[in-house]
Structure 1
Amino acid sequence: MMNLQRVTNCVLQYENHILMLKKPRRNWYAAPGGKMEPGEHIQQSVRREFSEETGLTLIDPELKGVFTFVIKEDDQTIDEWMMFTFSSRQYQGTLNEYCREGELEWVPVSDVLNKDMAEGDQVIYKHILNRNDVLYGTFTYTSNDELLSFQVD
Structure 2
Amino acid sequence: MAGKRGVNWPLEDRPWMPNKARERVLAQLRSWGYTVDEASVGNVVALLAAQVVQDTDSRVSLHMSPRNDQALIVLLSHQSGRPPADEAAMRTLAATRPVVVSCGTDTSNEVDDGPSVWAVIDLTPPKRLAGLKLSKKLSTA
TM-score (norm 2): 0.31
Q: Larger C-alpha radius of gyration, 1 or 2?
A: 2
- Kindly indicate which of the two structures has a greater share of residues assigned to strand: 1
